[in-house]
Amino acid sequence: MLIQFEGEAAAPRAILTGHETIVTMICVSAEHGIVISASQDGTVLIHTTMGDLLRRLESENSHNFADKEVNLLLVSRDCILLVLYGCDNLVTFSTSGRELSCLRVCIIYRVPESILCGALSRDGEFVVVGTKDGRVAVLRLFPMQLLYTFQVNNYL
């Protein structure tokens, strides 16, 4: 539900429908007029800010994911969506619904790893992700490619 505040009374501007399980992530791009939402079952929906459903995104590789819950959802200025399924599957989509790339995190680190958080660079070309074990990695968003990994120090 998008809330619009006019004066003192808050009123719903739009109600977004389409998920059958708990919504775990939401991302709003006022610049593009879209709202992207994701749920526990891996469903990713794109709505307009007025509440109209535009499309449903589904990874071609989702049948290989052990955990389909979406735990991170980011959108770049170029309308490239980054979706983290579970803790170790990064997938990029165009807003037209096409899957651009899929990367399993253990391929980056060569050991099982869990991503906890991520942030896009201002220009939307790079994403920085942090892991449960304290590693930080910089990836090019499209095409998905590891550029640099900061090593873990135990100096603190």
Asked whether the whole model's pTM tops 0.95, one would answer: no
pLDDT given at position 109? 58
Number of folded domains that form the chain: 1
Q: For residue 139, what are the β-bridge partners?
A: 127, 146
Q: What count of Cα atoms within 13 Å lies in the side-chain half-sphere of residue 96?
A: 3
What is the tens place of the pLDDT at every residue in 33-77?
A: 999 999 999 999 999 999 999 999 988 887 778 788 899 999 999
Domain that holds residue 102: 2-112
What percent of the chain has a predicted confidence (pLDDT) above 90? 45
Does residue 134 belong to any structural domain of this protein?
no
pLDDT given at position 22? 92
Distance CA 38, CA 75 (A): 13
Do 45 and 37 contact (CB within 8 A), yes or no? yes
Does residue 86 belong to any structural domain of this protein?
yes
Residue 38 is classified by DSSP as E
Does residue 125 belong to any structural domain of this protein?
no
Instruction: Say how many C-beta atoms besides its own lie within 10 A of residue 148's C-beta.
Output: 10
Distance CA 40, CA 24 (A): 6
CATH of the domain at 19: 2.130.10.10
